[in-house]
Structure 1
Amino acid sequence: MRVTVVLPAGHWDPAREVDRLVADHDGRFRRRVLMQGTKGTEFLLDLETARHLYDGDGLLLPDGAVVRVTAAHEALLEIRAGSMTLLLQLAWHLGNRHLAASIETDRILIRNDHVIAAMVRGLGGLVQEIDAPFDPQSGAYHEQDSRAPDVHAHHHHEHDGHGHTHDH
Structure 2
Amino acid sequence: MNAKISILNLTGKERKLLKKIYKKGIGRVSYRAQIILLSTSATVSYTRNQIAVQCFCCRKTVYNTVCKYKENGIWGIFDLQRPGRPCLISANCSQEIQTTIQTSKPSKLGKHYFHSNWTLKIIRDYLVKSFSIFISQRTISRWLHSNGWSYHRSKKEQFPIQPLLDTEQRDVLRLLRNLNEHQEVL
Which bracket does the TM-score occupy, shorter chain normalised?
Answer: under 0.3
What TM-score results when the alignment is normalised by the length of structure 2?
Answer: 0.19
What TM-score results when the alignment is normalised by the length of structure 1?
Answer: 0.21
Higher strand share: 1
Greater C-alpha Rg: 2
Higher RCO (C-alpha under 8 Å, 6+ residues apart): 1
